[in-house]
Structure 1
Amino acid sequence: MTEIRVLSDEAQFRAHLAVFRRAMHWPPPNDEQWQIAQLSYEPGRVLAAFDGDEMIGTTLSFGSSLVVPGGAVVPHSAISRVGVRADYTRRGVLTSLMRAQLEQLPDPVATLRASEGRIYGRFGYGLAGRWRTVEIDAKRAVVAGEMTGRVRMIDADTADKLLPELHAAVGLTRPGQIGRWVGWWARNRDRKTDAENSVAVVHSGPDGDDGFMVYKVSEVKDFKHKMSIEDMVWANDDAWRDLWIYASRLDLVDKIERDLALDEPVSLLFDDPRVVYTEDVNDEIWLRLVDVERMLQARTYGVADPVVIEVQDRLLPANDGRYRVSSQGVERVNAQADITITVDLLGAVYFGDTTFSQLAATKRIVGARFGEADALFAVPQKPFCGTFF
């Protein structure tokens, strides 16, 4: 019989990571890997499934924050390290873990990054945001005009201190963006692994530092180089434009690759918009509304007549109910529903990347007045997180 336990000490945490890594077909962590990874384990947020004394499944959450439409920032759980040992799959272990985790989460909303698209919908997670990967022909990329501010390169030790401060100050503006915890920075700034060859630059405008970029340059062959932009944060349009000017004018770079929001207008920067090529579009944000009423009340809405939405949540039945959504806000009601929707699909429309009308066309929701619901949930910006965990 599967038992779900909350883990509390370092030995259990390391075993937890080993089980997760094996589920992903990776070897257990070595001492150097564990030294970095242990900083990301938060007591009370680490769950494991056991068969007797054997650990057979894992999940955890990182305490974070999340920007919702309208700009409010709410407490958020970043879900990660979800795995089940190969000899225990298809036995309900993952369902037990996900149910226990949702019942214990201290935050009203959670997000995760899905290794497979069919796994998490049954636990109430909806595909709420995507990104596109672009490749830019740097040899032909011309931005008219000059920078309005200054971009400076900083050393790794300065970056370790400054980048977290800058991200906290300017990195929570677009819906879908999340706050970054200490363990995230430790892993991503670890110079023995992911950050070994990374370069950090900071943008300064009239009011001081207001953006940064982290990138790597790798040689493809015979002095042909590709620049991979791994992180980019800005507080205003001038900082965004200047950072792209810096990237496009870097010597000895032939191609630039970057994951960005679907609506980021980078191609409009260049004299020839065809220098920007979209290589792929992938899912990024899988959103779980843990407290539906609180999360519906947290965001703002467009102008349309009110719509009553009936929500169905198999794992958290306290969310079941009808909610009147209007331009003024949300309230729980007993009125007749206009639209009936499961909690995973409500997550899918929450950020505006998917619409009620699109779901209705696929017969995944039932009801009427989908146009009014689309107008209420419409957003001026597509969601984008930009923080992988």
Structure 2
Amino acid sequence: MTDFDVRPVAEDERRATFDLLGRSLHSDRISDESWARYGDSWPAAHKFGAFDGHTPIGIASAFDTEIAVPGGAVLPLGAVDGVGVRADRTRRGVLTAMMAAQLEDFAARGIPLAALHASEPTIYGRFGYGSAALGKTVWLPVPASRLHERVPVGGDVRMLTPEEAVKEIPALYRRIGLHRAGMIGRPAGWWPIAHDRIAGPHGSHVVVVHSGPDGDDGFVVYDTVDRRTLESPDEGAVLKVRELHAADPVARAALWRFLLSVDLVSGVRARYRPVDEPLALMLADHRHARTTDIEDDLWLRPVDVAAALGARTYRAADPVVLAVTDRMLPANTGHYEVSPGGARRTDAAADLALDVDTLGMLYLGQWSATELAQAGRVEVRDAAAAARADELFTTLAAPWCGTFF
């Protein structure tokens, strides 16, 4: 018998569960002023709490949105945006019970995919999540870094006021669209806490927009870090890029050109950029673009394996039969034939066998079946099948999320 209950969070339990999440992540308790300003971004809907009586001891939060998958289809997504257990109640099954309730809710509501950003990568594999997209951190020294003369030039850039940043960027993000597999929609509740808080009147970030012939088509959000010290009083500041989105190469180049032109700056640092963004090739001297880190940018969990596999496209190769095992959602366990024409359940013998978390790693195209097999994550039953799966699942562009949640 457990000494806690897992159930949906009630309206009057929102702040208590938000404070619990903050404490579990070692953040300060939210002030009354901040809660009044941003509390509506923490609705009770789609949150499961673990309770000892009326006292919350755990929280698993999510919001409904959508995600782009290879081929351009956009699917419903359960975005898991906050998971925590009170420090004195960890390792007692609280997390497992909440994650199970959350997954069952996703499945009952017909949501085919779930995603999260993992605070600790060893936690979420056992719940069926796999590292599905990577992001790189790049460092560009200034003024040494400059774009070469053949990089596209066009349009104008303008700096927004905080009020304009709050008003204009949500529509611009929608206009740019989910053009890369792994990108997710940003519902209305996402913006106040994730964007307005840092870029609005009470924030410190700067927002710059690019406009082309058809209007606004790109933006960058960044903060400035002062590096001056008593020993180095003339050290330039660093621009920390939080996000940069553009509809085309011209807009992207213009935003990078702007960042590299800001005065009294010693460098630009951008985290979670697409791993295939050709930033080094855009420079006159490609050696100045230094990748300092590569991290997981998105973890993905197939909730309805048949629906998820059937929604994306595949390249030309002979079919492969996957044996998928899902211990938390047993209805997914079975064999699936994947071919250029799509995917379907089958009774045919499996060519490759894998757990559902590994399917999440394979799904967006970040990892190949051959890599996963060599790492012991895929059991190869037909020696030629991994190469066929590589061709079927590969994508021209690397997956990328580009949204914090």
TM-score range, shorter chain: over 0.9
Cα distance between partner residues in 2 of 1:364 and 1:379 = 20
SS in 1 for 2:5: strand
The question of whether the paired residues in 1 share the 8 Å contact of 2:315 and 2:392 is answered with yes
SS in 2 for 1:65: strand
Cα distance between partner residues in 2 of 1:284 and 1:143 = 26
Cα distance between partner residues in 2 of 1:25 and 1:242 = 38
Partner in structure 2 of residue 132 of structure 1: 136
Q: Structure 1 residue 138: deviation in Å?
A: 1.8
Report matched runs for 1:1-389 at 5 Å.
1=2, 2-9=4-11, 11-105=12-106, 106=109, 107-145=111-149, 147-187=153-193, 188-191=195-198, 196-221=203-228, 222-223=233-234, 224-259=236-271, 260-367=273-380, 368=382, 369-389=385-405
Cα distance between partner residues in 2 of 1:194 and 1:94 = 37
The question of whether the paired residues in 2 share the 8 Å contact of 1:171 and 1:233 is answered with no
Kindly tell me: are residues 281 and 194 of structure 1, through their superposed partners in 2, closer, same or farther at Cα, counting changes over 3 Å? farther
Cα distance between partner residues in 1 of 2:130 and 2:95 = 17
Q: Structure 1 residue 378: deviation in Å?
A: 0.2
Cα distance between partner residues in 1 of 2:299 and 2:348 = 30
Q: Structure 1 residue 61: deviation in Å?
A: 0.5
The question of whether the paired residues in 1 share the 8 Å contact of 2:18 and 2:42 is answered with no
Q: Structure 1 residue 193: deviation in Å?
A: 8.9
Quick one: percent identity of the two aligned structures? 41
Calculate the TM-score normalised by the size of structure 1.
0.96
RMSD of aligned residue pairs (Cα, Å): 1.6
Q: Structure 1 residue 192: deviation in Å?
A: 8.9
Cα distance between partner residues in 2 of 1:287 and 1:194 = 34
SS in 2 for 1:101: helix
SS in 2 for 1:110: strand
Cα distance between partner residues in 2 of 1:194 and 1:115 = 29
Cα distance between partner residues in 1 of 2:58 and 2:134 = 28
The question of whether the paired residues in 2 share the 8 Å contact of 1:108 and 1:290 is answered with yes
Cα distance between partner residues in 2 of 1:192 and 1:289 = 34
Cα distance between partner residues in 1 of 2:101 and 2:124 = 14
Stretches of structure 1 lacking an aligned partner (at least 5 in a row): none
Cα distance between partner residues in 2 of 1:174 and 1:121 = 24
Cα distance between partner residues in 2 of 1:358 and 1:194 = 47
- Offset from partner CA, 1:71-112 (integer Å, 9 cap, x none): 111111110220111111111110000000000023211111
Cα distance between partner residues in 1 of 2:118 and 2:255 = 30
- Offset from partner CA, 1:153-191 (integer Å, 9 cap, x none): 121111111100000111411111111122321012125
Which is further off, 213-222 or 341-350?
213-222
Cα distance between partner residues in 1 of 2:135 and 2:104 = 30
Give the aligned residue type for 1:325: V
Cα distance between partner residues in 2 of 1:148 and 1:226 = 26
